[in-house]
Structure 1
Amino acid sequence: MQTDSTRKKASPEVRAARLSLAVAVVLLGVKGLAWFLTGSAAILSDALESIINVVAAGFAVVSVSVAETPPDERHPYGHGNIEYYAAWLEGTLILLASIGIFWESWDKIFHPEAMPHLGAGLALLVGAGAANLWLGLRLLRQGRRSGSLTLEADGRHVLTDVWTSAGVFVGLGLVWATGWLWLDGLVACLVGVNIAWAGVGLVRRSVSGFMIESDPALLEAICAVLRENRHPSWIDIHRLRVIKAGRQIHVDLHLILPRDMSLAEAHGQVEAMEALVRSRLGASADVMIHADPCSNVRCPVCDADPCDLRRSDTVATPVWSPATTGDPTQKD
């Protein structure tokens, strides 16, 4: 039997994902009621996106929970990549929803229908939009704070829904004021364009994660902290690589040290550099540094003093940047 002391408390990310799912289910019901009252194609398009919100929020709960699972023998780099799959799925579902919206709405431009109870439907839409605005900002803030692509994607999707609801409200307000029923179908089609654009962005970001695309901002953050705290024995670094698996960050690089340095001293310098990188990226960052011995060709860029092995004077020490340290083909 679980007790309060043994029961594992859900993380803020998991709680945020569960909240998103609960709110999405409620708002789907609200928008469904608004469509039932009005028969509006624009409100139906908004409700269709809410169905995607529910599905996406469900996947977010699962993916955020799995992403927090510690590394194991089969997954030595952890389980964070599941967040890219969740973001890809959400983006794909958004694109499918946009196609469905066009399919349903195009005919309404040329064959509009009367919309009873439009005022009540608009009131429900305003309430749903306000709730989504609060939820989307909360998810986006939590996702950025924790580095969770899933929560950030879910937050952006929810905020897209807010803009959708706002556009629908304005369009149907014009229908109410002018009696131009064909605007209902036109607004629904515009909603479809907006949703499709958001879906394309999510798919592109998730594919970048699958392909382990380099992150210039992360590389620069690492170079900056090493430049600011450079030790004289750190002759140069190269082959700097960063892999993001969801929220987990893996860093590896080669560090050139004086070749007369003892193994214990070299190990100490490696640990010092690893600690510096973690101080910038977070304690959970996985940092692996390979130590290389220097050669005579490094003397012009070496600042180590004194050095009994020096063959030429120091000319200038390297300025570390993503451009000078990130070439994966550079030899030792």
Structure 2
Amino acid sequence: MRTQSDPKPFISIQFKRRMRAITSSLIVATGLMAAKFYSYHLTHSSAVLSDALESIINVVAAAFAMVSIWMAAQPPDPEHPYGHGKIEYFSAGFEGALIILAAIGIFKTGIDQLMFPHPLANLNAGLLVLVAASAANLGLGIILIRIGNRVQSLTLVADGKHVLTDVYTSGGVVAGLILVQWTGWMWLDGSIACLVGVNILLTGTRLVGQSFSALMDASDPMLLDRITQLIITHRHPHWIDIHQLRAWRSGNFVHIDLHLVLPRQYQIDDAHADAKVLEQMLIDHFDGNAGVLVHIDPCQEDDCPVCRKYRCEQRKKPFNNTRAWDRESLTANKSDGLASPPEKTAPDTGEKGNGDV
């Protein structure tokens, strides 16, 4: 049976936070792009141009991120029964790809200046513009990452990391221009541009990899640990076992499915009630942003040693309480013979008999 929260209003608090954050990012990115191109106009520095070129990517990425956040907030429909949350992963991957393209352009500009250096003008004015732009970017990047983590938005986190990358870029450019000013070595301008390109290339590659992993529903150990601890904390005595626990994110929404082993003599109504309790507990934990599918399995003879239904007339083996619940045991696939991992001694609570049903 599948249970999920009632559809949220389209204009939710989290959606408003996301849109405010990404709108701020777009506005600031546009202003900083103009400032950096003005600095390039003053200095004709290849390093400054490389920084300005990355700013174009910031603006395009922020605009794409805004569209993806809007789409991800739309409720499920007949064509997209699992919602639209994965658009955020496409956005993060797109932003990573743009960063990689920017790095290629920066390499070309830097190599040209390295091979054929030319004098730089108005360095003091250009440096002041870059320092001011870097300070604004630093504050924006930190805010975007914090809000993104708070509302579980990979798009905002990716945009924040991209903005911070821009800060590192600007910092490297400023340092390079100061060295050029002190030493008079014009080839340093091109060298700094190439180093900036390497840093940007690594960041873009990481973002693409993270996006690809999310789109492929890769296992999220931290999410599984969180769910496992929640189940252990609220475990009912007649929940004999849980296995094949799966969980994955789709934007802000969490999908969970698992197998719950219950006494085989249970009536359908009793089993349904236990499944509802487990489902609602998980949904409430994620503030309603979760869909839960519980498969109910009847107990087998091999489950007797971990079954707390002590007075069961169908018991074939004594209770020994040796299988501790953890992520390894709850995610194991019983059909593959993995549901019984190496025995781990569970703590003796001294409550034997309280689980009689």
TM range (shorter): over 0.9
Q: Offset at 1:278?
A: 2.7
TM-score by length of 2: 0.88
Unaligned runs of 5+ in 1: 1-5
1:308 alignment partner, SS class: coil
Deviations 1:43-102 (A, max 9, x none): 001001100000000001000010000011111110001011111110001001000100
| Residue 224 of structure 1 pairs with residue 268 of structure 2 | no
Q: 1:304 aligns with which of 309, 317, 328?
A: 309
Distance in 1 between the 2:132 and 2:62 partners?
Answer: 20
8 Å CA contact 1:140–1:151 kept in 2: the answer is yes
Confirm whether residue 266 of structure 1 aligns to residue 271 of structure 2. Answer: yes
1:262 positional shift: 2.0
Partner of 1:131: 136
How do 1:32-43 and structure 2 match up within 5 A?
32-43=37-48
SS at match of 1:190: helix
CA contact (8 A) 1:227 1:319 kept: no
Candidates 141, 151, 155, aligned match of 1:150: 155
Instruction: Tell me the CA shift for residue 328 of structure 1.
Output: 4.5
1:108 alignment counterpart: 113
* Alignment partner of 2:73 out of 68, 78, 81: 68
CA contact (8 A) 1:238 1:330 kept: no
Superposed counterparts of 1:140-179, under 5 Å: 140-179=145-184
Distance in 1 (alpha carbons) for counterparts of 2:45 and 2:239: 67
1:21 to 8, 23, 26: 26
Match of 1:118 among 113, 119, 123: 123
How far has the Cα of 1:320 moved from its partner?
A: 2.3
How far the C-alpha of 1:7 sits from its partner, in A, is: 11
**Structure 1 residue 8: Cα displacement:** 5.2
1:265-314 deviation per Cα after TM superposition (whole angstroms, max 9, x unaligned): 21121122123323443321111111111122211111123322212211
Per the TM alignment, residue 124 of structure 1 is displaced from its structure 2 partner at its CA by 0.3
Query: Residue 225 of structure 2 aligns to which amino acid in structure 1?
Result: E
The percentage of counterpart residues that share the same residue type is 48
CA distance in 2, matches of 1:97, 1:183: 20
Output aligned runs, 1:175-324, within 5 Å: 175-324=180-329
Instruction: Give the secondary structure class of the aligned counterpart of 1:251.
Output: strand
Report what 2:86 is aligned to.
81
Whether the 8 Å contact between 1:278 and 1:284 is mirrored in structure 2 is: yes
Provide the TM-score with structure 1 as the length reference.
Answer: 0.95
User: Residues 288, 187 of structure 1: CA spacing in aligned structure 2 closer, same or farther, 3 A cutoff?
Assistant: same
2:21, 2:41 → 1: CA distance? Answer: 30
Contact kept, 8 Å, 1:239 with 1:330, in 2: the verdict is no
CA offsets 1:93-125 (integer angstroms, 9 cap, x no match):
100100010011112112211111010000000
Cα deviation, 1:109-150, whole Å, max 9, x if unaligned, reads 122111110100000001100110111011101100011000
Structure 2 equivalent of residue 96 of structure 1: 101
Maintained 8 Å contact 2:243/2:334: no
SS in 2 for 1:11: helix
Q: How many pairs does the alignment contain?
A: 327
Gaps of 5+ in 2: 1-8, 340-357
How far off its partner does 1:185 sit?
0.3
Gap change, CA 1:314 and 1:7, over 3 Å in 2: closer
Whole-Å Cα distance in 2 between the matches of residues 269 and 248 of structure 1? 23
The SS at the match of 1:291 is strand
Displacement after TM superposition at 1:317 (Å): 4.9
Query: Aligned AA for 2:267?
Result: S
Where 1:120 maps in the other structure, the secondary structure is helix
8 A Cα contact 1:236 1:318, kept in partner:
no
